Amino acid sequence: MNDEMHTDPIAETETNKIHVPVMLERSIELLAPALSQPGAILVDATLGLGGHAENFLSRFPGLTLVGLDRDPEALKLAGARLAPFGERAQLVHCVYDEIQDALRSLGHAEAHGILFDLGVSSMQLDRAERGFAYSKDAPLDMRMDGTADVTAEQILADYSEGELRRIFWEYGEERLASRYAKRIVERRADTRLVRSAQLVDLIQRATPAALARQGHPAKRVFQALRIEVNQELVALENAIPRAIESLALHGRMVVLSYQSLEDRIVKRAFAAASTSSTPQGLPVELPEHQPQLKLLVRGAELATDDEKAANPRSTPVRLRAAERVRVAS
């Protein structure tokens, strides 16, 4: 149907109601000192539906926002939402580990603030046809970028039992990784797994009753498949150091993680950049060995009880934040 004749009610709902930005006020509080100057650049490395971006652009009139997302559908919806801000909202279709190239392509040498809101977006979870949610029957897709090649269905059909076991264990921290991998290989010998309901049924049948009562047994397998399809952890491991390098002096970065694997990567990168690299035995610390970052919060900060009640998707979030205090010469 011609777009001019059809208004998508789902799109309207998504941009206005579904996406409630997680830890918005805390993120603004932490980034504000770096964004209050005229001409400040904020990179929203995980633009999604633009909830965080809209609020930052509204609160900081002199701010230019660079929004990155690998999902063309999210960019389209966010672009419509941010259209009132005109050229102050600059959107780029890319994965967040391409942050430096994205900034350069727009003529920006550095960023004064960077925000990562990791994991799967509200829109991707809520649209059943994307295949991210184990609670909704859909094709086994799970691509954040629908133009990418690899789907969850292909992984389940082509990976060896050992490879499936590895991703379920490493990316899902799934104790029954071996059992699930074995059952998948057995099933696909007769029937290709093409829909999420098939995979959920297989996992439920393979899960001992005692463990099934500890939470939905498909949750960790679906997480592992999503991470593998989108190479999320590989991208994140590359993205955080590149984001640090992109920060201006006294620029600030906030990262919101939703599971331990993401948070561990962020924690390690922040720890390395906020620690002196002075060799043991050197009597003085030379400038080139001084830390690049100063941590702004102790450990990982959690959402408040009030926010968790108002926005259940904030329940697992872990916030880390840092300021760049040295730029390598």
Q: Which residues are annotated as a binding site for S-adenosyl-L-methionine?
A: 50-52, 69, 96, 117, 124
Q: H-helix or E-strand containing 69? A: strand 64-69
Pseudo-torsion of CA 176, 180, 182, 188, nearest 10°? Answer: 180
Q: Decide if 110 contacts 247 (C-beta within 8 A).
A: yes
From residue 71, how far is each of 19, 34, 77, 111 by CA, in Å? Answer: 15, 28, 10, 22
Using alpha carbons, select from 187, 174, 186 the residue that is nearest to residue 224: 174
Q: H-helix or E-strand containing 319? A: strand 318-324
Q: Decide if 112 contacts 42 (C-beta within 8 A).
A: yes
Cα-flanking dihedrals φ and ψ of residue 138, to 5°? -165, 165
Structure tokens at 287: 């400038």
The CA-based diameter of the chain, rounded to the nearest angstrom, is: 73
Structure tokens at 46: 């995980």
Using alpha carbons, select from 90, 60, 118 the residue that is nearest to residue 253: 118
Q: Position of tokens 């009610």?
A: 9
d(C-alpha 45, C-alpha 43), whole Å = 6
Q: Which residues are annotated as a binding site?
A: 50-52, 69, 96, 117, 124
